[in-house]
Amino acid sequence: MNLIPVYIGLDDTDFIESGCTTERMNNLINYLISHTNATEVERRLVRLWPFAENRTRGNGALGSIININSDKKDKLIEYCSLWFDELKKDINSKSNEFIHPSPCLIISFKKFPENWYWSSVRGHVDASKRKKQIEEENNIFFTHNSDSGIVGASAAISWVPSSTSSWELISWRRKGLIGTERKVNFNDISRLDEKFPDTFVNRDPTKKRGLIAPRTPCPVLYGIRGPNSKLVTDAHFWLQSQKNIENCSSFAVHISNQLSDDHIISPHTGTVVSEPIETKGGHSYLDVISNSELNRIIAFREGGDVNDLLRKLIPGDIICWTGIVSPNDSVHLEKLILINPSPRIESRPNCCNRTMRSSGKNQHLRCKNCKKTTDKYWVYSRDSVNTNIWVEPSPSNRRHLSKPLSIEYPIT
Ligand SMILES: [Zn+2]
C-alpha cells in the first residue's frame, strides 16, 4: 500500500443567505472517504481578503488534505467530477439573475506555493492569472459560471498553518431543521465560556449576545473557536450534552487563519494632520502622515471604541494603527492606539483652588476670591485622553481575520 497526500480546495459554492461551503466540503470528504477509502488528515477554513469581489461576508474558502492509496488516483478524480456535477445542478436550481455562485474545486497531488495564500489574504488576485498558474502545474480543477472561485480554492491549499493558527469546530443542522430557529441559547453559551475559558469569541459581553451560531438560514448550527483541536471538540461534546441544545447532524474540526491578523501587513505609526470629520452615518475619518505618506484613516460607527478614540484625536497626535487598505486607498481601521498626544486645551488657569473666569470680552481673567487678575490664556494638558491603550471593535463587529486584543497584541 502506497499512501499519497491529496490537497483539495473548494470555494464559492454558497449563496449569501443560505448554503455553506463548510457543509459542501464536509459532504465531499465523506463521499470520497466512502468511495475511495480516503482518510482525512486536515480540514481547513481559510479567510481571505475582506474586500475581494463577489465575496460572502466572511470570505472563507475550504481546504482538506486526505491520504489515498496511489492506485486510487483516477477513481478519486472521477468521483470528484461526479460530485461537482451534482453541485452544479444544485447551484443552477437555486441561482437567479442576480445570484449565481462560481464554485471551484481543485485537486492537487502536491502543495501550492505559499505566496499564493499571502497574495489572496492581503489583496486582489486576478482569477485568470491564478488559473494559468494552476494549469501550468497540471492540476485538476472544476469551475462553473466563472473562474472567480479559483482564487479562494487555491489559497486554501497554499496556506501553511503556523503558531498564529486557531481551530474552529463547525457543526451542521439536521436537514429538516434548516431555516427554523436554532436552539442554541445564550445561557448555554455563557456556561460553555466559563467551563472552557480558553475557547474564544463565543459571545459579545458588550451586547449580551452569543456569537457561535449564525443568524442566516444556513446549515451551520454553530462554530466553536479555540487554540487547539481537542479543546473545541471537548467543548462541543459538552454543549451537545446539555438539555435544551439542538443536536447536530455532523461536525468537523477545521484549522484556520481566523484571528491571525494575516490580512494586515504590520501596525503603522504616524502623526495626525487634520481634525476628525464625522459623517452622517456616524463614521469618522482624518488624515495622518506616516513614513512621509499621507493616509486617510476611517473608523466606522460599528468600530465602537476605535471610532470614539478617533474623534478625540487632534493634529499633532502620534498614533499607531492596524487596518486594511480599501480599494479607494483609505485605511479601514481595526485597532488604534494614541501613543503621544499633542497638548489639548484643558481649562483656564486656577487661583485659590478655583478656575479663573473671564470678566467679559477683551477683559482679563479674574479670581473671584482674591480678585487677582491675569491675561487670558488656556492651560494645556495631555492627561485628558487615554494613551497607550489599544482599542478595537466589540467581538460581533470584528473581522474573522482580526486578532482580538485579549489574545495579546504587540505594542510597537
Ligand atoms: Zn485667587
CATH of the domain at 290: 2.40.50.1010
Residue 156 reports pLDDT greater than 70: yes
Examine the domain organization and report whether 154 and 246 are in the same domain. no
Distance (Å) from CA 362 to ligand 1 centroid: 20
Examine the domain organization and report whether 190 and 146 are in the same domain. no
Distance (Å) from CA 356 to ligand 1 centroid: 8
Examine the domain organization and report whether 137 and 280 are in the same domain. no
Distance (Å) from CA 360 to ligand 1 centroid: 18
Give the CATH number for residue 86. 3.30.70.2200
Examine the domain organization and report whether 364 and 316 are in the same domain. no
pLDDT for position 157: 97
Distance (Å) from CA 283 to ligand 1 centroid: 44
Domain of residue 16, residue span: 3-158
Which one of 107, 141, 158 terminates a domain?
158
The whole-number average pLDDT for the span 148-169 is: 95
Distance (Å) from CA 344 to ligand 1 centroid: 24
The whole-number average pLDDT for the span 136-149 is: 90
pLDDT band at 343 (very low <50, low <70, confident <90, very high): very high
The whole-number average pLDDT for the span 240-262 is: 96
Distance (Å) from CA 372 to ligand 1 centroid: 6
Residue 21 reports pLDDT greater than 70: yes
Distance (Å) from CA 174 to ligand 1 centroid: 77
pLDDT for position 125: 93
Distance (Å) from CA 359 to ligand 1 centroid: 14
Amino acid at 254: H
Distance (Å) from CA 379 to ligand 1 centroid: 16
Distance (Å) from CA 385 to ligand 1 centroid: 28
The reply to whether 278 falls in a domain is yes
Examine the domain organization and report whether 135 and 7 are in the same domain. yes
Examine the domain organization and report whether 363 and 319 are in the same domain. no
Which one of 228, 256, 284 terminates a domain?
256
Does the pTM surpass 0.85? The reply is yes
Distance (Å) from CA 363 to ligand 1 centroid: 17
pLDDT for position 412: 38
Examine the domain organization and report whether 124 and 180 are in the same domain. no
Distance (Å) from CA 370 to ligand 1 centroid: 4
Distance (Å) from CA 148 to ligand 1 centroid: 74
Distance (Å) from CA 350 to ligand 1 centroid: 8
pLDDT for position 19: 65
| Beta carbons within 10 angstroms of residue 111's beta carbon | 12
Examine the domain organization and report whether 33 and 134 are in the same domain. yes
Over pLDDT 70: what percentage of the chain?
97
pLDDT band at 409 (very low <50, low <70, confident <90, very high): very low
Question: In this predicted structure, which of 90-104, 113-127, 318-332 has the lowest mean pLDDT?
Answer: 90-104
Distance (Å) from CA 365 to ligand 1 centroid: 11
Distance (Å) from CA 369 to ligand 1 centroid: 5
Total domains, the chain: 4
Distance (Å) from CA 170 to ligand 1 centroid: 69
Residue 99 reports pLDDT greater than 80: no
Average pLDDT of every residue of the chain: 92
Q: Which residue has the higher pLDDT, 246 or 137?
A: 246
The tens digit of pLDDT for each residue in 101-122 reads 889 999 999 999 999 999 999 9
Distance (Å) from CA 346 to ligand 1 centroid: 19
pLDDT for position 54: 63
Examine the domain organization and report whether 60 and 137 are in the same domain. yes
Distance (Å) from CA 364 to ligand 1 centroid: 14
Residue 97 reports pLDDT greater than 90: no
Distance (Å) from CA 232 to ligand 1 centroid: 66
Provide the pairing of β-strand 140-143 with 104-108.
Answer: antiparallel
Find the largest Cα–Cα distance for the chain: 100
Distance (Å) from CA 353 to ligand 1 centroid: 8
Distance CA 228, CA 224 (A): 11
Distance (Å) from CA 32 to ligand 1 centroid: 86
Distance (Å) from CA 316 to ligand 1 centroid: 34
Examine the domain organization and report whether 337 and 230 are in the same domain. no
The reply to whether 263 falls in a domain is no
The whole-number average pLDDT for the span 262-282 is: 94
As given in the structure block, the three cell numbers for residue 70 are: 496511489
Examine the domain organization and report whether 96 and 115 are in the same domain. yes
Residue 170 reports pLDDT greater than 80: yes
